Chain A
């Protein structure tokens, strides 16, 4: 049970940081909210995308939540770089925390921020008329999916942090990873609409599975694909945690 306890401590740390500085949560919410209130209605009015009877803004709400989660997580590496430049990481290494717990714990911290982000975005979506399934269990399920998936992306960012030593380059790489994943996913249009190559890419794109899971829980209520989505997300997380743990050795050198 100790690995779980370690992660819980790291999550608590993140909660305390957020409690002292909420401003970042709000500024980070600006971009997803723009997608919701501008991009959604405008594209929806064109009626160019077949969404199976769902209003377009409703259709992309899960995608926007997931995109915001992916950005928050991928930039979490900046925190890890800062912790390396200061002595924090060195000190953590000299505690009884196993190194894997440090990697997973620091990664899951970004999950805390992502779930808070979702708690800001969803009410705004409801305000502009997006119909969220009124089932608290479904909603909690979606929160859990966002929390867990966030860890995988934060682990990617720990891996990038081990190669990139400067912040500026880090920002560039982060954008260069998330945007293509986002556009090659089912976040903005159904997979059926995509050309065959993109369709194939989408089936190995973790974002597609995460969007699908969140969409089924928040918007459609059709849970048929959910088990497979969860398996895909779990595989993604585990693979990323392993890569991050291996690359972590380089960070601390």
Chain B
């Protein structure tokens, strides 16, 4: 069976169904930094796919390879059936892209930004004006269309970038942290627009994010990336189920837990992961009832007061904790990125 050519054709047809099909992608920067260490990833067509990962895990690098900005050091990837290296031109005609950093000219108006891109894509003169106005209107920017982008808020800039990525009705959208720095209302507006756009055009959406709730709410499928490797993919429900067990939430008196104690907690029978928050300890366990006595004994022995114990269903954060061994959310990081964007805006 293995040698029948028909199998190759089958394999090929599976290829064709994937919007993204990456095999063994390795990326080494300047011969030193190994940003991607063998990424295998398939994203179904017309799906919304979220790539979740901590700072420096390689999300942006993978997206830049998939959007044909640079070749991988090893491996190959297909996007909508086109090879990212040899078929780059074919991909660039059908993809919309919003980079992580700000990507609009700030010294012209929002409308003019859209106009320049419309001309770059060769959108015919007759439909340009209508398409641009529709796109700006749909994302709530028509009132500021004729103002200089310099006067926009961070959220308005992000929406303008998304509007310009939607201008050509792309078959696939790549969004690198699309709602970074947006307030909850603006995030909602953006996702409503993206969802309705996806319904109308059957666009595949591939986005990087660190907002777990965003992945939870809007992604059909999630990939977890850590240290340059995709360690798990699946639907949100599948991933949560796969945590397989319980999450114990222990509310503590502030202070006093050091990393040696965390290590010892991890060694407790049935415990699979431990993460420390401001004043709470999350313990993922195969079986909470088995784990609890051991955990309590250790905390008592170290003189740490437990105020309250509760159980909860696994969240995406727990999924992340289980497979990547670290927490995902970190407020300092969000602040960092907001700062970077700010500096770049000032130019």
Q: Chain A interface (Cβ within 8 Å of chain B)?
A: 2, 5-6, 9, 12-13, 16-17, 20-21, 82, 85-88, 90-97, 252-253
Contact = CB atoms under 8 A, between A and B. Distances in A.
Chain A CB within 10 A, most for which of B68, B98, B102, B103: B103
Nearest to A10: B116
Contacts of B108: 13, 16-17, 20
Nearest to A78: B347
Contact of B69 (A2, A5, A94): A94
A86 B102 CA distance: 5
A9 B113 CA distance: 11
Contact of A253 (B70, B119, B121): B70
B29 A253 contact: yes
A86 B343 CA distance: 10
Given A9-B116, A94-B67, 18 more contacts: A5-B122, A16-B108, A16-B112, A16-B116, A17-B108, A85-B344, A86-B103, A87-B99, A87-B101, A88-B103, A88-B104, A90-B99, A90-B103, A91-B103, A92-B120, A93-B67, A96-B89, A96-B93
Interface residues of B, number: 35
B191 interface: no
Contacts of A13: 105, 108, 116
Chain B CB within 10 A, most for which of A5, A6, A9: A9
Contacts of A97: 120
Contact of B105 (A6, A17, A85): A17
A21 B117 CA distance: 21
A94 to B, nearest CB: 4
Top 4 closest pairs, chain A to chain B, by CB: A87-B99, A87-B103, A87-B101, A91-B103
Contacts of A6: 120
Nearest to B67: A94
Interface string B112-138: 100011011110000000000000000
21 contacts: A12-B116, A13-B116, A16-B108, A17-B105, A17-B107, A20-B107, A20-B108, A20-B148, A86-B102, A86-B103, A91-B103, A94-B67, A94-B68, A94-B95, A94-B97, A95-B92, A95-B120, A96-B89, A96-B93, A96-B122, A97-B120
A3 to B, nearest CB: 13
Chain A CB within 10 A, most for which of B29, B108, B347: B108
Contacts, number: 78
A59 B109 CA distance: 42
B47 interface: no
A9 B119 contact: yes
B124 to A, nearest CB: 12
B302 to A, nearest CB: 48
Contacts of A253: 29-30, 70
A96 B174 CA distance: 15
A108 to B, nearest CB: 15
A87 B102 contact: yes
A16 B107 CA distance: 9
A231 B97 CA distance: 41
Interface in B224-277: none
Contact of A82 (B68, B117, B347): B347
A53 B98 CA distance: 61
B326 interface: no
Contact of B100 (A87, A93, A94): A87
B178 to A, nearest CB: 12
A160 to B, nearest CB: 19
A16 B105 CA distance: 11
Contacts of B121: 95-96
A185 to B, nearest CB: 33
A5 B123 CA distance: 12
Contacts of B67: 93-94
B120 A12 contact: no
Nearest to A84: B101
Contacts of B148: 20
A80 to B, nearest CB: 13
Interface in B132-154: 148
A91 B97 contact: yes
Nearest to B96: A94
Chain B CB within 10 A, most for which of A6, A16, A20, A90: A90
B327 interface: no
B23 interface: no
A104 to B, nearest CB: 14
A252 B104 contact: no
Contacts of A2: 122
Contacts of B107: 17, 20-21
A96 B105 contact: no
B39 to A, nearest CB: 19
B187 interface: no
Contacts of A5: 119, 122
Contact of B120 (A21, A82, A85, A96): A96
Interface string B324-347: 000000000000000000001101
Contacts of B347: 82, 86
A210 B340 CA distance: 42
B64 interface: yes
Contacts of A88: 103-105
A97 B104 CA distance: 16
A8 B108 CA distance: 17
A253 B30 CA distance: 9
A87 B89 CA distance: 20
